[in-house]
């Protein structure tokens, strides 16, 4: 089954990522409306009543292996910390629950943030294993990218995935991201460094792909 997990490059999130805790540029615009709904998913703030679903889906070794800082096991304390973080308005940053529109249940997380003041903004995402292989991650990343470019003065977004994660690579490419290079990143669950591919999406390219028909 495909791995719709992102290597969270700010967690170096769809998909593995580096966390940017406490390194956000306070000069950016903070509060912003929620992302526009996609066909089958919507993005909004994770809530306390999502905790059971969040912990159940995140407490998966395969998911953690593709995320730089996700712990395994994933506990209720970890989930509560993420929900609390999402509730705080931070500049050039957002954390969203990915939900199925048909049920409203949380099926994953999507987010973006800058690693340092004035630095590049990175996207990251992951889906619970029962929801892999349906194209839901691509819908979520399209919505996330639209939100980032529409609500903030960002010229470029960056994303990444493990080299062993072709499904996440496809999500980034279908969302308009272009390959940049390879690098190494430390993974908590892997207990060491792992190779990743890094991708970028410029605002000008995003504008040309708006509507996402050409990016699929």
3-state per-residue secondary structure call for 107-134: EEEEEEEECCCCCCEEEEEEECHHHCCC
Task: State residue 190's pLDDT score.
Answer: 73
**Considering the domain boundaries, does residue 195 fall inside one?**
yes
pLDDT(55) > 50 = yes
Tell me whether residue 102 is in a domain.
Answer: yes
Token pair belonging to 106: 């949380």
Does residue 126 lie within any of the structural domains? Answer: yes
Q: Hey, which bits of 19-155 come out as E strands?
A: 41-44, 94-100, 106-114, 121-127
Whether pLDDT at 22 is above 90: no
For the chain, the 3-state helix, strand and coil shares in percent, each to the nearest 5, are 30, 25, 45
Q: Of 179, 211, 57, 182, nearest to 125 (Cα)?
A: 57
Please report the pLDDT score of residue 11 as a whole number.
35
Pick the more confident residue, 11 or 212.
212
Q: Residue 26's pLDDT band (boundaries 50, 70, 90)?
A: very low
Name the residue with higher pLDDT: 62 or 213.
62
pLDDT digits (tens, 9 = 90+) for 81-131: 999 999 987 778 999 999 999 999 999 999 999 877 778 899 999 999 999
More confident residue, 36 or 202: 202
Encode pLDDT of 180-201 as tens digits.
999 998 877 777 899 999 999 9
Assess whether pLDDT exceeds 80 at residue 13: no
**pLDDT for 131-173, tens place per residue?**
999 999 999 999 999 999 999 999 999 999 999 999 999 999 9
30 token code pair: 């903070």
Residue 32's pLDDT is what? 64
- Quick check: 4 pLDDT over 50? no
Angle between helices 76-87 and 51-58 (to 10 degrees): 120
Residue 30 clears pLDDT 80, i.e. is over it? no
CATH code: domain of residue 113: 3.40.630.30
Domain with 150, as residue range(s), is 41-209
Asked whether residue 164 is assigned to any structural domain, the reply reads yes
Answer yes or no: is 132 within a domain: yes
The answer to whether residue 120 sits within a structural domain is yes
Query: Is 121 among the domain residues?
Result: yes
pLDDT at 116: 74
- Give me the pLDDT at residue 213, please: 61
- Asked, for residue 201, whether it belongs to a domain, the answer is yes
- Number of domain units in the chain: 1
CA 2/CA 134 separation, integer angstroms: 9
């Amino acid at each position: 089954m495909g791995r719709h997990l992102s290597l969270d490059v700010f967690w170096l999130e769809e998909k593995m990522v580096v966390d940017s805790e406490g390194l956000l540029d306070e000069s950016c615009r903070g509060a912003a409306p929620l992302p526009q709904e996609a066909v089958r998913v919507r993005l909004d703030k994770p809530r306390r009543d999502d905790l059971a679903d969040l912990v159940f889906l995140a407490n998966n070794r395969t998911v953690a292996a593709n995320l730089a800082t996700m712990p395994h096991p994933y506990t209720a304390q970890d989930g509560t910390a993420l929900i609390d973080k999402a509730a705080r308005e931070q500049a050039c940053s957002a954390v969203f629950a990915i939900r199925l529109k048909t049920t409203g249940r949380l099926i994953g997380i999507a987010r973006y943030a800058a690693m340092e003041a004035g630095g590049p903004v990175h996207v990251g995402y992951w889906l619970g294993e029962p929801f892999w292989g349906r194209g839901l991650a691509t819908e979520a990343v399209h919505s996330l990218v639209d939100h980032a470019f529409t609500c903030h003065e960002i010229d470029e977004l960056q994303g990444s995935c493990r080299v062993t994660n072709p499904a996440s690579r496809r999500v980034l490419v279908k969302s308009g991201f272009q390959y940049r290079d390879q690098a190494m990143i430390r993974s908590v669950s892997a207990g060491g460094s792992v190779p990743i591919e890094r991708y970028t999406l410029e605002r000008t390219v995003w504008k040309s792909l708006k509507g996402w028909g050409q990016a699929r």
